[in-house]
A = this chain, B = another copy of it.
Amino acid sequence: MPEFRKDPVIGRWVIIATERAQRPHDFHAPKEEPKGGFCPFCEGNEKKTPAEVYSIRRPGTSPDDPGWQVRVVPNKFPVLRVEGDVEKRAHGMYDRMRGLGAHEVFIETPEHLTTMTPLPDAHVTDILSAYQARLIDLQRDGRMRYGMLFKNVGAEGGASLEHTHSQLIVTPVVPRRVEEELNGARRFFDYRDRCVFCDIIDQEMSSDDRMVMTTDHFVAVAPYASRFPFETWIMPRKHQSHFEHSSRQEIEDLAFILKRVLRRIEGALENPPLNYMIHTAPFNVAPLDHYHWHIEIIPRVTRTAGFEWGTGFYINPVPPESAAEYLRNNPEEPD
């Protein structure tokens, strides 16, 4: 019998279609052929991107020259632009404002890799530190309200270049999906005086059912109301609302678990297209008792169709318990 499950944070219902339950090998992610050809993200091609705004590089090397490990540049085709005022205006009954914001790209390695998972843990730590640094820097722009860090892998995942990279889009409004999460978490807190994410972590730590992996500082679980097969959330075990407030030690531990969880998903689904998003608190707010930052990883092996778009319901053919069991029991290859 299929089952409706409700996300405890935002109240979204998901249909877990247990009768259609599928094994990882039932998902034939279309194999994407390496594109070859010129890659503007490779070492030596620094002049083909906009000038870097941040990099982690060898002492003595110059910006926009080789010698970097992680390089952050403005997106060459930004969806938003940084100049000017927001200029909120009406257009008859409609509201609009100028597309103010920032759009940056994190080039994660000078080598032409299509995923970050072959990199040493220390290198993944550098990528995550770069995320923090840019988030902190861009908050200084008082017009901006939110920074969304995300990663697209594969053409089906929305990536237009295969060289492993992630992105940051900063907006002058708090996105709707983030507002919903903040509001849901606030309602839970008002009622129980506890963080809903802390409660989720407690419940998930009390059994193996949806547990993928734990480390000293983090837990990776298949969420109870997973929208997608093999959806996995990584959450800090200690309450914290702001990703950018994580300590160096926590970021090192996050690099460890993120890389391993991604590698297990790559193993289970044969390098699927995927996205991850870092959900964190809005800009320039004090630490929040009710909100808990986390990473949502969603492999893109099913397609959303008319029903999902019309209703906001999701249909997930893989119970999170099955996904977690598979990921838990099929560890990644060692380095």
Cβ of A108 within 8 Å of any chain B Cβ, yes or no, is no
Chain B proximity of A155: nearest CB distance (Å): 8
Q: Nearest Cβ in chain B — how far from A9, in angstroms?
A: 11
Among A159, A303, A312, which residue has the most Cβ atoms of chain B within 10 A?
A: A303
The yes or no answer to A307 lying at the interface (CB within 8 A) is yes
Contact of A307 among B167, B305, B306, B310 (CB under 8 A): B167
Within 8 A of B (CB), among A222-256: 224-225
Q: How large is the interface on A (under 10, 10 to 19, 20 to 34, 35 or more residues)?
A: 35 or more
Q: Which residues of B contact A99 (CB under 8 A)?
A: 1-4, 15-17
Interface of A is mostly: mixed
A268 interfacial contact with B, CB 8 Å: no
Expressed in whole angstroms, the minimum distance between the Cβ of A305 and any Cβ of chain B is 2
Residues of B within 8 A of A308 (CB): 158
Answer yes or no: A156 CB below 8 A from chain B CBs: yes
Using a CB–CB cutoff of 8 Å, the interface residues on chain A facing chain B are 1-6, 8, 11-13, 15-17, 19-20, 77, 79-81, 84, 91-99, 146, 148, 150-152, 155-159, 167, 169, 171-173, 175-178, 180, 199-200, 203, 224-225, 275-279, 296, 298, 303-313, 315
